[in-house]
Amino acid sequence: MGTTASAPYAAQTPHIVANNTSVIRETATVMAEQVSDLKPRGLELRLQELGLVKGGNVSNGHCLFVAIDCCLNKIREPNVDGNGNLNDPAAQVRVMHLRDHVANFVVRTERNYAMFSNIEYVQQQVKINNWDMKPAVRDFFMRRGEVQPSYPLRKMFWGCSGDIGCYAKILKIDIFVFSETPMMQDPWTLEKHFVHQFTPRNLPEPPSAFIPMSTWSSVVCDEQSSIAILLLYTPGHYIPLHSKL
């Protein structure tokens, strides 16, 4: 499996091998904890009201990228092996390209680096190596690109809101994310990541905005009839959402 690199941060030969039990254990433990906290009855009722169903996904740390791929290609259940790794060579290539697109999009534009400034790995490299933000973010993408989707990905390299913001602009698709917020009054929030947003000159454009719960049904119905990506996020894990058939 593999793909021809078309960018400086394309995927390289993985340094994390399949029998790296520490990585597998770390990923599996976190994913198991999230699955147990889904509160399925309330969640299923909310999704049913909105005409949505959950899709399947990997559990090896590549979940955001696989979820995006599933939404784009209308894949309800990706091919996943017994260890939670993506087991479809064609899908693996697509996911690697999706990651490369983000890396190239970020390094081409100065202000995009800030979208990844709060990543733990980036902050560590800035502190340890006395680096500026740019080389730290570049190193983050290089390290993440070394791990193929059929291998576990360490938590520090998992997909994040910065990736989602980039995908909205790269794919020119609004992305909606339902997030579990157990510490807030409302247990779930709906956030829209914009393709673009017009703002006064010299002001940064807002990358996203929260949608009032009173308008969820109308917003989701409108977006399902157009091209949009809907995701479900529970701390540490993304799941693709699909319209009911």
Over the stretch 38-70, which tens digit does the pLDDT of each residue have?
444 566 787 888 888 999 999 999 999 999 999
- pLDDT of 4 over the 70 cut: no
- pLDDT of 116 over the 90 cut: yes
| Domain assignment present for 14 | no
Average pLDDT, the chain: 79
Express as a percent the part of the chain with pLDDT over 90: 49
| Domain assignment present for 5 | no
More confident residue, 60 or 219: 60
| Domain assignment present for 13 | no
More confident residue, 181 or 42: 181
Instruction: Write down the pTM of the prediction.
Output: 0.77
| Domain assignment present for 190 | yes
More confident residue, 224 or 119: 119
Q: Which of 232, 103, 223, 91 is nearest to 167 (CA)?
A: 103
- Number of folded domains in the chain? 1
| Domain assignment present for 111 | yes
Residue-level length of the chain: 245
Domain range for 178 is 21-29+38-243
pLDDT in tens, 151-172: 999 999 999 999 999 999 999 8
Residue 82, domain CATH: 3.90.70.80
pLDDT at 226: 58
Other CB atoms within 10 Å distance of the CB of residue 133: 15
- CA dist 196 to 57, 72, 165, 211, 216, Å? 28, 19, 10, 16, 20
| Domain assignment present for 71 | yes
More confident residue, 112 or 16: 112
| Domain assignment present for 10 | no
More confident residue, 30 or 214: 214
